[in-house]
Structure 1
Amino acid sequence: MIGRIILKEKNFNLTKKTRLLFSYPCYAAFKYSIYPALNKEDKSVSKHVRGPTPTIGKKAKEATKTTYYTAVVVAGIGAFGLMMYAIFKELISSFSPQAVYSAAVDKISSDPRVVDMFGANIKCFGETSRRGRRQHITNLPYELEGKKGFRIRFYLQGQYRSGTVNLDARESSSGWDFRYLFVQTDSYPHQVIVVEDNRSVIDRENASEPSQFPLSLQDS
Structure 2
Amino acid sequence: MTILAAKLSVVRIPIAAGILRLQSWPSIKPSVPFIPQQWPDFFHCSVSPAGNSSVTPSERRENLPSTSVTKKVKRAAKDVGYFAIVLAGIALTGSILYTIIQELFSKKSASGVYDDAFKICIADNRVLDVFGSSIKAHGNPNSRGRRRNIVHDSWYDDKGRLHMAMKFYIKGNLASGIVHLEVVENESKEFGYRYLIVETEGGFSKKRVVLRPLSEAVNSD
What TM-score, normalized to structure 1? 0.55
Of the candidates 116, 134, 141, which is equivalent to residue 103 of structure 1?
116
CA contact (8 A) 1:122 1:156 kept: yes
Shift in alpha-carbon separation, 1:57–1:93, aligned structure 2, 3 A:
same
CA contact (8 A) 1:108 1:195 kept: no
Q: How far apart are residue 201 of structure 1 and its match?
A: 4.6
Select the structure that is richer in helix: 1
1:170 aligns with 2:204: no
CA contact (8 A) 1:179 1:196 kept: no
Shift in alpha-carbon separation, 1:202–1:109, aligned structure 2, 3 A:
closer
- Structure 2's unaligned 5+ residue stretches are 1-66
Alignment-mate amino acid for residue 71 of structure 1: A
Tell me how large the CA RMSD over aligned residues is.
3.3
CA contact (8 A) 2:194 2:220 kept: no
Of the candidates 191, 195, 206, which is equivalent to residue 206 of structure 2?
191
Alignment-mate amino acid for residue 83 of structure 2: T
- Structure 1's unaligned 5+ residue stretches are 1-53, 208-220
Q: How far apart are residue 189 of structure 1 and its match?
A: 4.6
Alignment-mate amino acid for residue 191 of structure 1: K
Q: Distance in 1 between matches of 2:140 and 2:83?
A: 39
Matching residue of 1:180: 195
Alignment-mate amino acid for residue 91 of structure 2: G
Q: Distance in 2 between matches of 1:191 and 1:172?
A: 33
Matching residue of 2:172: 158
1:70 aligns with 2:86: no
Q: How far apart are residue 63 of structure 1 and its match?
A: 5.4
CA contact (8 A) 1:137 1:154 kept: yes
Q: How many residues align?
A: 153
Q: Distance in 2 between matches of 1:191 and 1:129?
A: 21
Matching residue of 2:163: 149
1:125 aligns with 2:138: yes
Q: Distance in 2 between matches of 1:57 and 1:127?
A: 63
Shift in alpha-carbon separation, 1:113–1:70, aligned structure 2, 3 A:
same
Alignment-mate amino acid for residue 117 of structure 1: V
Q: Distance in 1 between matches of 2:141 and 2:212?
A: 28
- Percent identity, please: 33
Q: How far apart are residue 105 of structure 1 and its match?
A: 0.9
Q: Which has the larger radius of gyration?
A: 2
Shift in alpha-carbon separation, 1:187–1:60, aligned structure 2, 3 A:
farther
CA contact (8 A) 1:178 1:196 kept: no
